[in-house]
Amino acid sequence: MASRQPELPRAVLRWLQSLDLSACPRNYRRDFSNGYLVAEILSRYFPADVQRCAYRDGSSLAARLSNWARLRRFFAKQKLCVAQELIEGTLHCKPGAAESLLQDMYSMLTNRGIKERQDREVDFTDYCYQIQLPMAARSTASTAIKSNIRLTEILMEPSISINRQKASAIINMHTEMRMQQREEDPRRFNVKPSFGQRLIHHFYCTTPCMNTASIPKE
């Protein structure tokens, strides 16, 4: 089950339509991953510095790395503050990364703010999507790893230890979600109360309610 694509603010959508791009972006995560449309947007504002012919419109990892390497040099030259987390997340098709990048570019290139935007911690995982699903439809641990670690990340960083750390972080996130589910619906998971919990429950059930008015005052 694929997560639903986040919606962009209307101001950003109107801005994209006014640029008259060569391709109409329908899936932001996929269409902006190679950096070609990002370069085309920048060419509208910096025609002398960014030329579309220097970028490759392909989906291969080599095309993505080449395009984003050029874009990184351009950002540094023009002193445009673009977070590396947004670039890496967009390159690897992480959920919400391309949308956040487009909103930052809109603010930088047009000098306009976005009223609908809410500042939140950078977290390009499907956690927010998963917690909105019913318990039976949520991903298993293995599916969560496949959904949040892209093949391009493994190809770029083949280190087993680093990928193991990423997988451990995803498993920890999945475990926390499962623990939250067990607390919210213990009957579904057949969670039996401990002896201490049963004792406290029995104490409250057998102890009569005390009337505060009958307590003698010192």
What is the per-residue pLDDT across 56-89, written as a single tens digit (0 to 9) for each? 998 888 899 999 999 999 999 999 889 888 998 8
Q: How many CA atoms lie within 13 A of 178 on its CB side?
A: 12
pLDDT of 29 above 90: no
User: How is 128-195 classified by DSSP, letter by letter?
Assistant: HHHTTS-GGGS--HHHHHHHHS-HHHHHH---HHHHHHHHHHHHHHHHHHHHHHHHH-TTTTTPPPPH
The backbone torsions φ and ψ at residue 50, rounded to the nearest 5 degrees and listed phi first, read -120, 120
Q: What share of the chain is helix, strand, coil (3-state, %, to 5)?
A: 60, 0, 40
What is the per-residue pLDDT across 103-154, written as a single tens digit (0 to 9) for each? 999 999 998 877 655 444 455 666 666 666 676 666 777 777 666 777 676 6
Which domains does the chain carry?
10-110 (1.10.418.10), 126-204 (no CATH)
Task: Name residue 66's amino acid.
Answer: S
The pTM (predicted TM-score) of the whole model is 0.62
